[in-house]
Chains A and B, each alone.
Chain A
Amino acid sequence: MPMNFDSILGPHEKALNMQAYRARILGANLANSDTPGYKARDLDFKAAMSEAETAGSIRSLVTTSKMHIQPEGYAFGAELLYRRPLQPSLDGNTVETQVEMAEFSENAMRYLTSLRIVGGRFNKMLSALRGE
């Protein structure tokens, strides 16, 4: 049976990459919870994941020169979106700490879940190699 890392790890490798990236976006939102005019952003995980599935890999726009500029707010083939606040504040800030914190914790749990699965698959491979 042919074996390669892609088929063993499945979507979890890409998921880990995106979850780590999403943790950064949500972390930046939380860091700017008191910055006037800051707009909270988030990654459409489903869109990014299906883009990565169809494209076969995580991709950014192809550049042929170092001077080429990547579009802002564009990651993993999906656009970074803006959060719609439940209660808009007067200073134009759309970060709601409780919402961001909930998303951040959930994202961290999903990251740890993917990590556990990937780790488990590596362990399986190891035991197959050892022939125990």
Chain B
Amino acid sequence: MSLFNLFDTAGSALHAQTIRLNTTSSNLANANSASSSNGDTYRARQPVFSAIVDQFATEEGAVKGVRVMGIVESQTPLRHEYQPGHPLADEEGYVFMPNVNVVEEMANMISASRSYQTNVEVMNTAKQMLMRTLSMGQ
């Protein structure tokens, strides 16, 4: 029954958007986590989305939803701040700050939240369609 599959599709999107919200909140929480070396510093994380495509699809539909292929760390350079009073500062008084762009993260958060809402709406509509189908002829 094809309408039931709509729940899987929308569900996969809800899952993906939840992961996106999770990475965003992690990035925002660590936006000011200073560190003394380049390797230890937190880097902004982003999920990579990819469509689940069924190669041998017929009437069942070609695309089945969305999945998170993985989470990548941002490659933009870290911020190098002069804070001589900081306990983690090196000999010259510099600390490494994460490469989290707070403005970008906020925009990401809003986008993820809107996409989540859209898919919840899809699920509600699918539920309504199924409920009406079940009560047909009554």
Question: A15: CB under 8 A from chain B?
Answer: no
Question: For B63, what are the chain A residues with a Cβ–Cβ distance below 8 Å?
Answer: 25, 28-29, 31-32, 41
**A108 and B125 within 8 A (CB):** yes
Q: Give CA–CA (A117, B77) in the complex, Å.
A: 62
The smallest C-beta distance from B100 to any residue of chain A, in angstroms, reads: 20
**B122 and A115 within 8 A (CB):** no
**A34 and B111 within 8 A (CB):** yes
Q: Which applies to chain A's interface (DSSP): helix, strand, loop or mixed?
A: helix
Question: For A21, what are the chain B residues with a Cβ–Cβ distance below 8 Å?
Answer: 2, 59, 61
Q: Give CA–CA (A126, B96) in the complex, Å.
A: 77
**A23 and B126 within 8 A (CB):** yes
Q: Which of A35, A58, A76, A122 contacts B49 (CB 8 A)?
A: A35
Encoded as 1 (CB less than 8 Å from any B CB) or 0, chain A from 106 to 124 comes to 0010011001001100110
Q: Which applies to chain B's interface (DSSP): helix, strand, loop or mixed?
A: helix
B: number of interface residues (CB 8 Å) = 42
**A126 and B59 within 8 A (CB):** no
The smallest C-beta distance from B118 to any residue of chain A, in angstroms, reads: 6
**A23 and B6 within 8 A (CB):** yes
**B50 and A72 within 8 A (CB):** no
**A27 and B49 within 8 A (CB):** no
Q: Which of A19-49 contact B (CB under 8 A)?
A: 20-21, 23-25, 27-36, 38, 41
Question: B79: CB under 8 A from chain A?
Answer: no
**B136 and A119 within 8 A (CB):** yes
**A75 and B58 within 8 A (CB):** yes
**B136 and A41 within 8 A (CB):** no
**B66 and A31 within 8 A (CB):** yes
Question: B115: CB under 8 A from chain A?
Answer: yes
The smallest C-beta distance from A59 to any residue of chain B, in angstroms, reads: 10
Q: Which of B2, B119, B129 contacts A31 (CB 8 A)?
A: B119
Question: For B3, what are the chain A residues with a Cβ–Cβ distance below 8 Å?
Answer: 20, 23-24
Question: A101: CB under 8 A from chain B?
Answer: yes
Q: Which of A33-78 contact B (CB under 8 A)?
A: 33-36, 38, 41, 58, 60, 69-70, 72-76
Q: Give CA–CA (A29, B65) in the complex, Å.
A: 8
Q: Give CA–CA (A57, B51) in the complex, Å.
A: 31
**Complex: chain B residue closest to A71, CB-CB:** B58
Interface residue ranges, B against A (CB under 8 Å): 2-3, 5-6, 9-10, 12-13, 16-17, 20, 49-51, 55-59, 61-66, 111-112, 114-115, 118-119, 121-122, 125-126, 128-129, 132-133, 136-138
